[in-house]
Structure 1
């Protein structure tokens, strides 16, 4: 009987955590892109931001990259993609090579031990996509590959 209550409690927590999307403010952060330019999440207030947590050695991240490349051709200037490499051991040249491999033209950065962006967004598996609305609230968060069509439906509301 106790285990039924525990399982029920866990299920309620999972259901409630899904309800927080759209209500939770996205944690701000400041990073440098692969060209050394500093940027913060708040620089993009008023735009939809897609955060892509990834690593260059991650096979599912390559599939996510293909989805994002396709998506990038269909979105307007009111949507920004930011890929954040969470592997602190990877160097900038590895990230640039990954970008070139996919002809990706959006912002790429590497997480830092000081900023810990992945921890702020509870990244436990990659790829992880987080979509932030124009108001700075988290609209969507998912670990695993998110298809372009799903992202388009979120962006278009």
Structure 2
């Protein structure tokens, strides 16, 4: 009888722990969704200023996202090993050629993921003749600030520094263009 009671108490404790974990997870998801407006899956009416971050260019010079205020920004996190990222790149190149004089493109390579290095990213960009501005998140701080857990991930930021839309996963060119036009 005692072992049966112990089993029931253990099961109730385990159920309590699981329920607590589910509750904590939901709170975290809700906080994340409040902090960053979503893309097509439900745009938030809340205005959220894009968190500042620092990345480096191909020459090792640092750039702060906040230095681009006054101009709309396309912020994209990618890596050369990522097939969906590879699929998006020709469209981003085309849109950079079309809108690059009106919009700052900040294409951030995720250095350190799956053996990604600045050199492998540069080789990928050169091989495909991409001319959009590429930056490197060499210590993962930019990805951390934006909570990037999967790539590609894109943010469309207006000239005031407000995130207007966020997209997780690969986008179609028409989606990209619509998002860019929404921040012009």
TM-score (structure 1 length as normaliser): 0.82
Match of 1:138 in 2: 163
Structure with the bigger RCO (C-alpha within 8 Å, sep 6+) is 1
Match of 2:53 in 1: 29
Matches within 5 A, 1:1-157: 13=30, 18=38, 19-20=43-44, 23-88=47-112, 89-113=115-139, 116-157=141-182
Identify which range, 67-76 or 54-63, moves more after superposition.
Answer: 67-76
Does the residue aligned with 1:142 lie in a helix, a strand or coil? strand
Q: Considering only aligned residues, what root-mean-square deviation do their CA atoms show, in Å?
A: 2.6
How many residues in Structure 1 have an aligned counterpart in Structure 2? 149
Q: Which has the higher helix share?
A: 2
Structure 2 residue ranges without an equivalent (≥5): 1-18
Q: Which runs of 4+ in 1 moved over 3 A?
A: 13-22
Pairwise CA distance, 1:22: 5.9
1:69, 1:102 within 8 Å by CA — same for their partners in 2? no
Structure 1 residue ranges without an equivalent (≥5): none
TM-score (structure 2 length as normaliser): 0.71
